[in-house]
Amino acid sequence: MFMPNAPFPIWTIWKNIGFLERLFFLALFLVSIYSLFSAVKIVVRLRYMRRLHPDEDRPSIQESLGALRRLLANVRQTIDATFYLFGCVLFVSLANIGNFADNSRALVGYVIFQNFLFQCAFAANAFFVFLVLHLIHWSVSRQLNSCAEHLKFS
């Protein structure tokens, strides 16, 4: 039985969410892996670029910074698209919140409340992952801008 006072990590609600929500979490997991891989790639390249002499390697540094900014922009667009997909999945699921078996002995209000709790738990987990992805993106973006300023003025 689902306990409404308990925290709502995804592994506690996995068996109670629908196929669409599970498919979304798979997509969110893949986007998270792509975002983390890209963030590590950008940070490693920035550490290498900080060692370069700005006057001798200016064209290659500018080209590398442009490539890193494009990669970061692609990551941002991927996260944004996943966020919009989350909105669609959440509202489609909320539209079906009252659907349940007719031969159930449970009270209608209780079943709807339980379904609503599952949807809230689903949304809370997704928002937490989006917050973490946003913080990682923000941190990498700050490092990229800092490196660009450092190489520009040295």
Give the count of alpha carbons within 13 A of 107, CB side only: 4
List Cα–Cα distances, 141 to 58, 92, 135, in angstroms.
21, 33, 10
In a domain, 10, yes or no: no
Range of the domain at 48: 16-153
State pLDDT tens for residues 8-60: 777 777 777 788 999 999 999 999 999 999 999 999 999 888 777 667 777 78
Q: Which two tokens stand for residue 32?
A: 């998270």
In a domain, 80, yes or no: yes
Q: Is the pLDDT of residue 153 over 60?
A: no
Position of tokens 């925290």? 7
In a domain, 77, yes or no: yes
Identify the pLDDT of residue 94: 87
List Cα–Cα distances, 113 to 6, 95, 116, 127, 133, in angstroms.
15, 13, 5, 21, 30
More confident residue, 7 or 44: 44
Identify the pLDDT of residue 1: 46
In a domain, 149, yes or no: yes
State pLDDT tens for residues 74-84: 999 999 999 99
Stretch 79-108: mean pLDDT, rounded? 83
Q: pTM for the whole thing?
A: 0.83
More confident residue, 52 or 71: 71
Q: How confident is the model at residue 89 (pLDDT cuts 50, 70, 90)?
A: very high
Domain count, the chain: 1
In a domain, 11, yes or no: no
148 vs 151: CA distance, rounded Å: 5
Write the DSSP string, 91-107: HHHHHTTT---TT--S-
